[in-house]
A and B are shown apart, each in its own frame.
Chain A
Amino acid sequence: AQSVTQPDIHITVSEGASLELRCNYSYGATPYLFWYVQSPGQGLQLLLKYFSGDTLVQGIKGFEAEFKRSQSSFNLRKPSVHWSDAAEYFCAVGAHQAGTALIFGKGTTLSVSS
Chain B
Amino acid sequence: DQQVKQNSPSLSVQEGRISILNCDYTNSMFDYFLWYKKYPAEGPTFLISISSIKDKNEDGRFTVFLNKSAKHLSLHIVPSQPGDSAVYFCAASVYGGGADGLTFGKGTHLIIQP
A, B: real partners: no
Which residues of A come within 8 Å of B, CB atoms? none
